[in-house]
Amino acid sequence: MRVPLARALSKLGICSRADATARILAGRVAIGGIVIRDPGHPVVPERDRITVDGSSARRKAWRLLLLNKTRGTVTTRRDPEGRPTVFDLLGDEGRGLVAVGRLDLATSGLLLLTTDTQLAHRLTDPASAVVRRYVVTVRGSLSDAEAERMVTGIDDLRADSVRVRKRSARETHLIVELREGRNREIRRLCGAVGHEVTALKRVAFAGLELGDLPPGRWRSVSKDELERALGAAAPAPSR
């Protein structure tokens, strides 16, 4: 099946769609020895001889990494403001990987990265309803009624569950679960009930747990481990 050249490079795990477009426009990509500068040029990845910087563009081996993202790093390959990225943490291990969704600058914890772009899409598709679990600290005493409001919904935002772990006049510690990772959803929900988030850490995603993995470190996840975590009814990685 023919697909746009930029998409083909992304699906092969060579680079992200944006990076593929930049490389194509820069004249670094050829098909059958002919340089192609159109990111939308139709190709059949399994048939056409695609090269990037003179090297054959072959599908990367299937990989899935679980990273404990540190606060203050961005989930992009490069940052125009010069801030550290998750790929700085990974070094050479990050080649060919794409992040499965994003965690914002001030959020730490579990981030998945993979060579399987189809898996990344399925896990982040709202229709998949993949559970994300967070440990959250907010200013002030968040009441049970406010926690319930976060679950029943405020405007177009809602949490799947909210559990108070510890409460004082100074701050409240929560466990929050979501099934759709909207931009800054937990911060916005907590703000809607009058509490500022001071710390936010994702500790589980798609059935995988962060556990005691140190900040800034990563580990490999096998297909078998992922399939067990997802369960029989959840999306499985492509073979």
User: Do you know the residue count of the chain?
Assistant: 239
Mean pLDDT of 168-178: 97
Which of 24, 16, 78, 25 is closest to 52 using CA atoms?
A: 24
pLDDT category at 11 given cuts 50, 70, 90 is confident
DSSP labels, 42-65:
EE-TTTS-EEETTEE--PPPP-EE
pLDDT category at 61 given cuts 50, 70, 90 is confident
Q: What is the CA radius of gyration of the chain?
A: 20
Q: Token pair 């510690």 is at which residue?
A: 173
pLDDT category at 117 given cuts 50, 70, 90 is confident
Mean pLDDT of 26-53: 93
DSSP three-state, residue 35:
strand
pLDDT at 235 over 60: no
Is the dihedral angle over the CA atoms 155, 157, 162, 164 positive or is it negative? negative
Which residues are CB-contacts of 33 (< 8 A; sequence separation ≥ 6)? 49, 51
**pTM check: above 0.95:** no
pLDDT value at position 180?
Answer: 83
pLDDT value at position 58?
Answer: 80
Name the token pair of 98: 């794409």
Could you give the CA distance from residue 202 to residue 213 in angstroms, rounded to a whole number? 12
Tens-place pLDDT, residues 190-209: 999 999 999 999 999 999 99
pLDDT value at position 33?
Answer: 94
- CB contact at 8 A, 131 and 101: no
Mean pLDDT of 53-78: 91
Q: Could you give the C-alpha distances from 2 to 5, 40, 41, 64, 211, in angstroms and in order?
A: 9, 11, 9, 27, 42
pLDDT value at position 239?
Answer: 45
Mean pLDDT of 177-197: 93
pLDDT category at 226 given cuts 50, 70, 90 is very high
pLDDT at 232 over 50: no
Mean pLDDT of the chain: 91
- Percent over 70 (pLDDT), the chain: 97
pLDDT at 233 over 90: no
pLDDT category at 127 given cuts 50, 70, 90 is confident
pLDDT value at position 236?
Answer: 46
- Positions annotated as catalytic residues are 104
Could you give the CA distance from residue 155 to residue 176 in angstroms, rounded to a whole number? 18
